[in-house]
Structure 1
Amino acid sequence: MQGYVGVRTRLAAFAALVLIAVGAASARPAAAATPLTVAQAIATQNGSVQTVRGYIVGEPVATNTVNRSGFTADYAIALADTASETATSRMLYVQLTTQWRAAWGLKSNPGNLGKQVDVTGALGAYFSHPGQKSPTAIAASGGGSTEPPPSGGGPYDDTYYKDAIGKSGNALRTSLHTIIKQQRVLTYDQVWDALKDTDQDPANSNNVIEIYSGRSIAKSDNGGGVDQWNREHVWAKSHGDFGTVNGPGTDVHHLRPEDVTVNADRGNLDFDNGGSAVNQCPDCWRDGDSFEPRDAVKGDVARMILYMAIRYEGDDGWPNLEPNESVNNGSAPAIGKLSVLKAWNAADPPDAFEQRRNQRIYDQWQGNRNPFIDHPEWVTSIWP
Structure 2
Amino acid sequence: MPAPKRIFKKTLSVLKTLGPGLVTGSSDDDPSGIATYSQAGAQFGFSMLWTALITFPLMASMQEMCARIGLVTGGGLASTLKNHYPKWILWLMIIFSFPAIVLNIGADIAGMGAAAHLICPAVPSFIFTIVFTALIIVAIIYYPYQKLAAALKWACITLLVYLAVPFFTDTKWLSVLRHTFIPNVEFNRDFVGMMVAILGTTISPYLFFWQATMEAEGIKQSKAALIVDKRVLKDMRKDVDIGMLFSNIVMFFIILTCGNVLYPNGVHQIETVEQAAVALKPIAGNLAYTLFAIGIIGTGFLAIPVLSGSLSYMFAETFDWDEGLDKKFSQAKPFYAVIVIALVIGLLINFTNITPLQGLIYSAMLYGITSPVIILIVLHISNNRRIMGDNVNSLRSNIMGAITFLLMLGAALALFI
Higher helix share: 2
Of structures 1 and 2, the one scoring higher in RCO (CA 8 A, sep 6+) is 2
Pick the structure with greater CA Rg. 1
The alignment's TM-score, normalised by the length of structure 2, stands at 0.22
Higher strand share: 1
